[in-house]
Amino acid sequence: MGRISQMQCICCFLLDRPQTSRTEVHHVRVGHGGAQRAGDFCTVPLCADDCHRGKNGVHGDQTYLQILKMTQLDLLNATLERLYG
């Protein structure tokens, strides 16, 4: 999980734009229950004020995910590819 917090925001990376705030670690939720967490291996780096907690971010209306046509699990896959690929 430490390595994730060192990474560039995966959403900004995929959108090919500069990251403007620090990286935070987001826990990807799987399944339909809002409270479900996938565990510490299922985390992605997202910039704090925009892709993470901004109004278009994953805790907002998820506009960026819609632009990318991706789900949070797709972000996780992209993150793992950057880490290990």
| Interface with Zn ion (CB under 5 A) | 9, 11-12, 26, 47, 50-51
**CB nearer Zn ion, residue 4 or residue 51:** 51
CB of 30 to Zn ion, least distance (A): 14
Q: Give min distance, CB of 52 to Zn ion, in A.
A: 6
Residues 6+ away with beta carbon under 8 Å from 21: 47, 48, 49, 50
Structure token pair of residue 60: 């907002």
CB 20 within 8 A of CB 54: no
**With respect to Zn ion, which residue has the nearer C-beta, 18 or 85?**
18
